[in-house]
Amino acid sequence: MIDLYTAATPNGHKISIALEELDLPYELHRLTLSDNEQKEPWYLKLNPNGRIPTIVDRANDDFVVFESGAILMYLAEKTGQLLPKDAKERSRAIQWLMFQMGGIGPMMGQANVWYRYWEDTYQPAIDRYQNEVKRLFGVLDGHLNSREFLTNELSIADIANWAWVRIHNWSGVDIEPFPHLAGWVDRLAERPAFQKGIKRPAAEYEEDDQANKFVKGARNMLTK
């Protein structure tokens, strides 16, 4: 059994998707980010960075892992799944995982902040981050030409990138100019584990009547 401390964000959904794909039993603990529950002392003992997600592997002496990329690698190595066995393909999967960790996630995150969360509009910042997201989408689109996955099989790299790219509208970026990327997003969205994972927990920002509430909560996080 694994304890998953998480919230309805792309970084959180990476782990719930992976756990569903791996068919690992886990207990979900949802943190309310808008109330800054992730900054409470009990949670900081697990994750000193005060972010989600974090897992506790009860089967491994209650071993704690934080940072979504590190958790994905831990789960893949624990199970021998979602990372290619071939050394070169394994390296390629890790490269595309790092592409998400260092590029897609931070740039889409900043696009979300400037496009969605700040009450005052500063167009140069919006343009800067949306344009960088588009550039990164172009990299993925070119790589996915004639490919089903980012490597020769489904891996943690696909999970990590997909969890972010799927919310492109939230960043104000159209995916239509990137047909190979859009097709990849649609294909993975058909997988039962991906469908389950993005509802563990379900994202408020995907429901029209909850989106404004989510934005207000995000603003609260940004000011603390």
Per-residue pLDDT of the chain (224 residues; tens, 9 = 90+): 999 999 999 999 999 999 999 999 999 999 999 999 999 999 999 999 999 999 999 999 999 999 999 999 999 999 999 999 999 999 999 999 999 999 999 999 999 999 998 888 999 999 999 999 999 999 999 999 999 999 999 999 999 999 999 999 999 999 999 999 999 999 999 999 999 999 999 976 665 555 555 665 565 555 55
23 backbone φψ class: left, alpha, beta (φ>0; ψ -120 to 50):
left
The predicted structure's pLDDT at residue 103 = 98
**Interior angle at CA 27, CA 36 and CA 29, nearest 5:** 10
Residue 19's SS3 state is: helix
- Give the residue from 45, 44, 66, 39 showing the smallest Cα distance to 55: 66
For 44, the token pair is 């900081």
The residue written with tokens 């469908």 in the block is 195
Cα–Cα distance for residue pair 8/30, rounded to 1 Å: 8
For 108, the token pair is 């889409």
Please give the order of strands across the beta sheet that includes 63-66: 26-30, 2-6, 54-57, 63-66
Residue 219's SS3 state is: helix
Residue 111 near residue 169, CB atoms below 8 Å: no
The predicted structure's pLDDT at residue 201 = 94
